[in-house]
Structure 1
């Protein structure tokens, strides 16, 4: 019986590691997309949808923009999003600060390849700046997963006065959760998480990276901000789960940021920091949300 059991277990492990059709990986993520917030968020906030050029933006409590704005970039590996957790996180922070929040629903692969997502968010920031929304009060840039990679690319381009971003004020704070900052996936095979491997998750990310990058090399700094100069950037709040595939990436990114000069607050939470199905509960997550609330409150305090 022990031989049979061992054979079955080995077969199960082998099957779990077998590659799946590429379409399966992206389809699974797309099925989880939530283009509008759920009922609980709709009840708590005034929700408005705005189109900026070709980019869809969803506001929570836009009438509070004079108290500050949180601009949120969703995760989804550049092929999907936003997810239920993006709405829950943004709602929580907007409630706590009594400010406005806007989720930028940038276009995703495979229909829209790099640099479309980056240009979508740039167009929104330029319009918000032109209309005075980002100039009359401080603002915070928040992001999860792939959105955090975009956020790093954006603040670097704002720093450099890149094209239309030359008149956009820098955010007072960048909040990044489990950032995907290296599309080459150089560190995702490392075992700091305590998990033996992430075979399907790595494959999914590899498929998504190629779908989004198109002909652009994956080491391009706008795709993989870990390869960029990260000096003279705004203060950062960086968090990651100890079972996240990006744990090693986040630790490397923290060191890079600290060496480059930006002020960095860093938090690791036990388990996974995923926003796919909603905001997870627990004491550690409560502490993280509290730290983020405090950092956002400081960043959105009136300028002197």
Structure 2
């Protein structure tokens, strides 16, 4: 474990997702305690995307931005909202020079698959249709997210390919939860237990799927055909339950002819990039932002 991150291990909460309401409250309180991000140079606006039901979004516009990313927050499909992701999306927009459209998708278990995916896809479609109004190039739209949000970003890319939807220029997937099948999860003892580990992930999938059988749109690692997908950047953490499946997904994308950049961050754990005081976390965020900037400007 990275020494700076190791010091925080005793503070990592064990979340079993047995009480989603309480877990959301605690998640929001932890996010509110994060350092306040600098919003200088950003135009931030809350909007509502017409859909069934309507989807709240928060748009972060840096000066001179040409491209945009439809961004999906983490939280195991159960936790998180526009406010909890505000520190992250602010930094991503400012550092990348990219318009970030943060999606307030519906949460499980009240709204199971495919509710959140439908929300995300509706926002992608709206973004493409309103590119001129948003001041962005419709050929420079990416999708991305962290953890559960990363999985949904990958699923949005699959759905857009299959349904001839809006063209997606790039996928930015940070520690995505791509597979519900536990046999693919990392067996490292730290990854299997830290923060709830495998038990947390299994509960998240139960909330997300309910009694439904996982499809590739719910668990993108189940997709058998990865051809024709947008180029991707996949970032993994050494002590993350999804490490191995994410690395395998990157390899499968390459084998399918998709351009991929894979970065395995040693000494990190799932979500540890939120520990902003750690030098390695600062490097992770800087790399994601730089990667997004290159993908949408070159």
**Which TM-score bucket, shorter chain as reference?**
0.7 to 0.9
Query: Does the CA contact (< 8 Å) of 1:30 and 1:79 recur in 2?
Result: no
> 1 CA distance for matches of 2:70 and 2:91?
14
> 1 CA distance for matches of 2:99 and 2:199?
37
Report the TM-score, using the length of structure 2 for normalisation: 0.80
Which residue in the other structure is 2:167 paired with? 169
1:169 deviation in Å? 1.7
SS at match of 1:51: strand
Query: Does the CA contact (< 8 Å) of 1:244 and 1:272 recur in 2?
Result: yes
Which residue in the other structure is 2:245 paired with? 249
1:298 deviation in Å? 1.9
> 2 CA distance for matches of 1:282 and 1:57?
30
1:271 deviation in Å? 1.7
2:288 to 269, 283, 292: 292
SS at match of 2:211: coil
Report the TM-score, using the length of structure 1 for normalisation: 0.78
1:109 deviation in Å? 0.6
Which residue in the other structure is 1:93 paired with? 92
Range moving further from structure 2, 250-259 or 76-85: 76-85
1:265 to 261, 274, 282: 261
CA gap 1:273/1:86 in 2 versus in 1, 3 angstroms: farther
1:49 to 21, 46, 61: 46
State how many pairs are aligned: 274
| 1:178 corresponds to 2:175 | yes
1:235 to 231, 235, 243: 231
> 2 CA distance for matches of 1:296 and 1:73?
15
Query: Does the CA contact (< 8 Å) of 1:83 and 1:275 recur in 2?
Result: no
> 2 CA distance for matches of 1:295 and 1:281?
22
1:223 to 218, 229, 235: 218
Extract unaligned runs of 5+ from structure 2: 1-13
SS at match of 1:267: strand
Q: Output the aligned Cα RMSD.
A: 3.0
SS at match of 1:72: strand
**Residues 123-157 of structure 1 deviation map (CA, whole Å, 9 limit, x = unaligned):** 11111112235654512222100011111111111
> 2 CA distance for matches of 1:178 and 1:50?
28
1:99 deviation in Å? 3.0
> 1 CA distance for matches of 2:142 and 2:295?
7
CA gap 1:43/1:144 in 2 versus in 1, 3 angstroms: same
- Report the structure number with the largest CA radius of gyration: 1
Range moving further from structure 2, 263-272 or 42-51: 42-51
Which residue in the other structure is 1:12 paired with? none
> 2 CA distance for matches of 1:23 and 1:297?
39
Which residue in the other structure is 1:5 paired with? none
Query: Does the CA contact (< 8 Å) of 1:142 and 1:175 recur in 2?
Result: yes
| 1:213 corresponds to 2:215 | no
| 1:117 corresponds to 2:116 | yes
